[in-house]
Amino acid sequence: MDGLTFLDHLRANPYHAGLPVTVVTAKDLTPQENRVFVRRGVELARQSGKFFFVNTLFEVAFEEGADGAHLTSGQDLGVARNARERLQGSETLIGKSVHTLQEAETSEKEGAEYLLLGPIFDPLSKVSHTSPLGTSILREVVERVKAPVFAIGGVEEPDFEEIVKTGACGVAGITWVHREVTKQLAG
């Protein structure tokens, strides 16, 4: 990952780049390293008044007091909700990645408190095996569900205005955020 440690990215990303929320995924770390990483992210978020969400590792998110736990489209919301109740009550939000209107509606019925819909455009950080949804599908999902919907997949700054017009609550970006963080760390 470009010679920077996960903690380097964590220090720069949400807390100095002006981002209100960071969702982290650290698939290459051991379970213990992930726990340390999440714990530090939660501490930095509290110090800066920002929000810290954890992707996939929902039990770690709950145990360490993260603001949110983000599930992949294949993870079970019921299992995550039960784990949240067992481990800490209802403090941590639970969201889910979705790729269709049907997935969005089902996830909302199952208790997702926010949705991440994509890919809206061709992803910039990886090869996609699905066609981009486009902003018309994004608009339809926003109109059909009550949960907040965020756009992801190939989103660049010039796309923000078009996405805002759909009624989406925001955007998630890997490539453009990484680019900005790298600039800040280099400067």
Q: What is the pLDDT of residues 63-86, one digit of tens each?
A: 999 999 999 999 999 999 999 999
Average the pLDDT over 1-25 and give the result. 59
Task: Determine the structural domain holding residue 182 and report its residue range.
Answer: 6-186
Does 1 map to a domain? no
For the domain that residue 11 is a member of, what is the CATH number? Answer: 3.20.20.70
Kindly report the pTM of this predicted structure. 0.85
Does 48 map to a domain? yes
Residues 115-157 have pLDDT tens digits of 999 999 988 777 777 889 999 999 999 999 999 999 999 988 8
Please give the pLDDT value at position 177.
Answer: 66
Does 69 map to a domain? yes
Domains in the chain: how many in total?
1
Does 87 map to a domain? yes
Does 140 map to a domain? yes
Rounded to whole angstroms, the maximal C-alpha distance in the chain is 46
